[in-house]
Structure 1
């Protein structure tokens, strides 16, 4: 049998702040609320509940930030996949504007929490640039900037010359910059949320997968291997792209796509000044978008879509390495120190979903690749709902769990679509 590809530590694992002290749960305990998953959503929910004096136990199958929360690109981008006017069209004026305001404030919450709790998180907040890679993308970015500008966001349109100057690449014909965005060390942030939650009174158990949820006499029993059990009034499930069969058919409501990333060797001072010289983070208007930034160690990070399967070898990142050299010719031949990937949860409508399939059970799933801010804010909203029972605290209404039709075939279908996009996405660099 072939041996699995030996993955290197990600850049984030290699440079993160120390791991908070946790232990495996192997006894029985009680809580007001049990939370499954120690990513941004679960940890933010735990923090905001614990600050209210509510007894919280967090159960994580691996380690804090093991999933997408510790393996994303570290870009903190406000908003959703839809523009504000699209949200109004989907949900009506009042609900749509409220959702847009929620989404527009997600980046603020991340940076506010880092400051409030003095988290050891390398960060920058110079804004997010969305570059238009072809002329047809210019109308999209103009419309987006106009709608957010009308709602008070610090945005501006970039012409071709300014986009190329701020990005350090001649591959874009224009774009827009949103001053609310920024970048963080994402695993350090997850660990910072965990420390803050622990300080507020939450208990976090790692290496503790949840195997079963059962409800008896109005309370939930959350079972773990080795005899560990949490009895709680409420359960919040925040497993996102790593969702398995814990609740019937939940995993069939998403496509867990892998997002692949590479990081170069540290750049010289001259090279650093030639790429994203003012410290912006960036992603573009491609259907198969590229996202890139400089990190706190002076490396260029490039991210994009890769195979749905787990990687088999370093060749699974070769397309991103080629893109770095084509987008930034000055980096050709520089070499790469890190290659890694993490799963994002894609829903059919490209929106996060909230489910309440049984009394006292709340499920949050679907980040569409914007999880840093979105799931942090979702955690705060879910904590408000759990504490008060007020569904108006939630940015979205509950929806039923609706598996994707022919779910088992969706990866094949999406893989075919990705291949088509690579062939037809104007200005593609691969």
Structure 2
């Protein structure tokens, strides 16, 4: 199993197709966006809808990075509970970020409905599942904090969690009805299509080679063209290429998924019968969900191009049977992975990388909702000249220490966990 298109389920089932040519020639626009993931496509769409001229440049294909490789859980909020976010940002900025990201699934599903995006959207909530008694205690703390913040979450006991998931493996679960699941590649391509319909210029296979600023304008050069723009958004996150002077600092963490064949109707009726997306409280997290055709998709931290990838592949089969013994004879077909940009405090960053220019990164595995919100907010702030539209204050720079060592720590931890856990 590798992470290329042939083994990525989302490429095989994506109903959204776009034709975005290579940039050729010179253009001048109000806003240039670098990166064709959720953040960049959301920025391009919202800027174009505000009447701005926009050019988006993607080095590969729209959704090539994490936006086309993730699990497809459109969650509310971040990994951190609200009190931790306020602790890091302060009450005012913390409250603003908590409130905006609490509402992120509504924005995502509204965009899907408004633009007719074909991405298997199901807004039936998500389940954060307690894998142990200590995991349940963590969910109890999160439940209290989320309820205090006004979130309509419910804490389920073990029996209720079993009924919702179809698995007896959990000690309870936290249900969030605001959230849901999507076909992630379909969603990002749909955003790009909608941006193009709003007259944004979208160019694939157009990696940026040089970036400079002078005389009040940004100059962005590719191999076959250039863009001049008053404002710039860099939305490359964990798939940054070429531009070392504005490269974001983060810890790269890999996450992989595998998918079964479509399950027979009798199994689909008992496994996640309401269609929630799930992840557990394990330090080396496991996620699982069903797609539109009844494939069970299960994933965890790990790199399928790593030398020890066979350990991850063997683990996912054992984990599948641990959760659902009735799937013992069901084959796992596709296997793919993506790269996450993680920050040390698990809070995303907006950096001011120059005059009228922002970059965002570090969603730490929560890219769908936050990326959509951050792209919209940065576009509105640049076009209005007022940073009140930013979801959080911009900073001059963000630095991470020992990123290589910490990347090795996460991959080694995932490998050792998968070597030991879920053995029979």
TM-score bucket of the superposed structures, by smaller chain: over 0.9
Q: Matched residues in 1 for 2:308 and 2:33: separation?
A: 33
Task: State the Cα distance separating 1:137 from its structure 2 match.
Answer: 1.3
TM-score (norm 2): 0.94
User: Which residue number corresponds to residue 33 of structure 1?
Assistant: 31
Quick one: structure 1 residues 296 and 136, their matched pair in 2 at CA, closer, same or farther if it must change by over 3 Å?
Answer: same
Question: Is the contact made by 1:242 and 1:256 (CA closer than 8 Å) also made in structure 2?
Answer: no
**Alpha-carbon RMSD:** 2.1
Question: Is the contact made by 1:256 and 1:343 (CA closer than 8 Å) also made in structure 2?
Answer: yes
Task: State the Cα distance separating 1:5 from its structure 2 match.
Answer: 8.6
Question: Is the contact made by 1:69 and 1:187 (CA closer than 8 Å) also made in structure 2?
Answer: yes
* Secondary structure in 2 matching 1:122: coil
Q: Matched residues in 1 for 2:422 and 2:397: separation?
A: 38
Quick one: structure 1 residues 211 and 342, their matched pair in 2 at CA, closer, same or farther if it must change by over 3 Å?
Answer: same
Question: Is the contact made by 2:254 and 2:411 (CA closer than 8 Å) also made in structure 1?
Answer: no
What does the per-residue CA deviation read over 1:312-352, in whole Å, with 9 as the maximum and x for residues that have no partner? 97665332222112211000121022111111111121111
Taking the TM superposition and a 5 Å limit, the aligned residue runs for 1:156-195 are: 156-195=154-193
User: Which residue number corresponds to residue 69 of structure 2?
Assistant: 71
What does the per-residue CA deviation read over 1:213-258, in whole Å, with 9 as the maximum and x for residues that have no partner? 01121111101113x111111111101111134142624x112222
* Secondary structure in 2 matching 1:283: strand
User: Which residue number corresponds to residue 238 of structure 1?
Assistant: 235
Quick one: structure 1 residues 310 and 35, their matched pair in 2 at CA, closer, same or farther if it must change by over 3 Å?
Answer: farther
Quick one: structure 1 residues 185 and 340, their matched pair in 2 at CA, closer, same or farther if it must change by over 3 Å?
Answer: same
User: Which residue number corresponds to residue 283 of structure 1?
Assistant: 279
Q: Matched residues in 2 for 1:332 and 1:39: separation?
A: 36
Taking the TM superposition and a 5 Å limit, the aligned residue runs for 1:11-410 are: 11-226=9-224, 228-248=225-245, 250-251=247-248, 253-307=249-303, 309=305, 316-410=312-406
Q: Matched residues in 1 for 2:182 and 2:411: separation?
A: 30
Q: Which moves more between the two structures, 56-65 or 406-415?
A: 406-415
Task: State the Cα distance separating 1:62 from its structure 2 match.
Answer: 0.8
TM-score (norm 1): 0.93
* Secondary structure in 1 matching 2:173: strand
* Secondary structure in 1 matching 2:245: coil
Q: Matched residues in 1 for 2:4 and 2:153: separation?
A: 43
Q: Matched residues in 1 for 2:279 and 2:175: separation?
A: 11
Task: State the Cα distance separating 1:195 from its structure 2 match.
Answer: 1.1
Task: State the Cα distance separating 1:6 from its structure 2 match.
Answer: 6.9
* Secondary structure in 2 matching 1:12: helix
User: Which residue number corresponds to residue 429 of structure 1?
Assistant: 422
Question: Is the contact made by 2:311 and 2:418 (CA closer than 8 Å) also made in structure 1?
Answer: no
Q: Matched residues in 2 for 1:338 and 1:416: separation?
A: 23
Unaligned runs of 5+ in 2: none
Quick one: structure 1 residues 275 and 201, their matched pair in 2 at CA, closer, same or farther if it must change by over 3 Å?
Answer: same
What does the per-residue CA deviation read over 1:24-78, in whole Å, with 9 as the maximum and x for residues that have no partner? 0121111111100111000000000000110000000111111111111111111
Quick one: structure 1 residues 149 and 402, their matched pair in 2 at CA, closer, same or farther if it must change by over 3 Å?
Answer: closer
Quick one: structure 1 residues 99 and 343, their matched pair in 2 at CA, closer, same or farther if it must change by over 3 Å?
Answer: same
Task: State the Cα distance separating 1:310 from its structure 2 match.
Answer: 5.6
Unaligned runs of 5+ in 1: none
Task: State the Cα distance separating 1:429 from its structure 2 match.
Answer: 2.6
Task: State the Cα distance separating 1:104 from its structure 2 match.
Answer: 0.5
Quick one: structure 1 residues 313 and 348, their matched pair in 2 at CA, closer, same or farther if it must change by over 3 Å?
Answer: closer
* Secondary structure in 2 matching 1:363: strand
Task: State the Cα distance separating 1:153 from its structure 2 match.
Answer: 2.1
Quick one: structure 1 residues 249 and 363, their matched pair in 2 at CA, closer, same or farther if it must change by over 3 Å?
Answer: closer
Aligned length: 422
